[in-house]
Amino acid sequence: MTVSDSVDYRAMFRLDGKRALVIGAGSGIGRESALALGALGARVTCADIDLAKAEETAGGSGSDSAATLLDVRDADAVAAAAAALPDLDVLVFTTGRNVRKRLFDYTTAEFDDVLDLNLRGAFHIIRAFGAGMVARGGGSIVGMSSIRSITVEPGQAVYAASKAALVQLIRGAAAEFGPAGVRVNAVAPGVVRTPLTDPIFAVPEWQAAYAAKSALGRWARPSEIAGAVAFLASDASSFITGSLLCVDGGWTAVDGRYDPPR
């Protein structure tokens, strides 16, 4: 018998019996991530700053799902949520804010708002929930970064800086939590059709430019990002930590879209 003969490859993608929390589950990628984890057998708690939307997602995430109100900018609220979920196996957070303005037009207040949610909020989340996972000796944390952590365009400098810093925060957590068996990874979506990107999608030139930049020539669906989240949450990724998984249709791999003549 070889080593592979003893592995149940179907089971390693399952999340049966796992307790999961998805922060930002009210819409978009967070919502689809919660639905994906629930479909794979996890007991999902859906957290969002909009409780009604979290409850709506929980309604489709399985009979054992629950919803809770959470503002990750509030360190005390995050700590209380972590205390209320002492047996957490999977943590996914997709919260984020983007103010698309050029640097000369940015206000200090807008800069603070973006960093407060995208980076400080992630700091609260990783510390509070990571502590419990480290104490129990296992778990998977998945944070939502962006292709803007790698590549940028005018009007995205502050958002890009926050998402790049998030990747390094996640890598640092992976280094510190790894000896306890806790994995910490980031997902970097490309352009995804969600309510947050509807204003971009509504401009034909902008929509087409973004679609053309990727190798696949289209925008992503939230469910396509949720598949990557589910993989990182499962035992199928048991030797992956400190990684940035780009789910961008080839955006960060392709340099230009000109197809030279043969």
pLDDT tens digits, one per residue of 157-212? 999 999 999 999 999 999 999 999 999 999 999 999 988 888 899 999 999 999 99
Q: Dihedral sign, CA of 14, 61, 28, 148?
A: negative
Which pLDDT value is given to residue 4? 56
Which pLDDT value is given to residue 195? 82
Which pLDDT value is given to residue 261? 82
List active site positions: 159
Which pLDDT value is given to residue 1? 42
Residue segments in the chain with a per-residue pLDDT below the cut of 50 = 1
Which pLDDT value is given to residue 2? 54
Could you give the CA distance from residue 97 to residue 113 in angstroms, rounded to a whole number? 8
Residue 228 φ/ψ, nearest 5 degrees: -65, -40
Of 51, 133, 123, nearest in space to 91 by CA? 133
CATH of 12-246, one of 3.40.50.720, 3.40.50.620, 1.10.3720.10, 3.40.605.10: 3.40.50.720
Of 135, 166, 170, 138, nearest in space to 234 by CA? 138
Regarding pTM above 0.85, the answer is yes
